[in-house]
């Protein structure tokens, strides 16, 4: 099964999205957004930018 983005509304009334792997494990959680449209824009940003992102090891 493919990964998926899940949008939820937290106790403060903010929208957040999480990225879940195919096995259901959460692998990323967003910041809180006042509007659902902003959360959707965040998802699109991750989709657009993550594929070409480089790994920087600052350890």
| Residues 9-59 pLDDT 10s | 999 999 999 999 999 999 999 999 999 999 999 999 999 998 889 999 999
Q: What is the CA radius of gyration of the chain?
A: 13
HSE (CB half, 13 Å, CA atoms) of 25?
2
H or E segment and range at residue 4: strand 4-9
Torsion of CA 1, 45, 42, 53, to 10 degrees: 70
Domain that holds residue 45: 4-50
CATH number of the domain within which 22 lies: 3.30.160.160
Q: What is the pTM of this model?
A: 0.84
Question: What letter does residue 18 receive in the DSSP assignment?
Answer: E
Q: Are 34 and 26 in contact (CB under 8 A)?
A: no
Residue 38 lies in a domain: yes
């Amino acid at each position: 099964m493919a990964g998926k983005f899940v949008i939820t509304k937290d106790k403060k009334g903010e929208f957040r999205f999480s990225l879940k792997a195919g096995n259901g494990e959460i692998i990323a959680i967003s910041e809180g957004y006042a509007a659902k449209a902003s959360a959707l824009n965040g998802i699109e940003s991750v989709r657009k930018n993550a594929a070409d992102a480089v790994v920087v090891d600052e350890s």
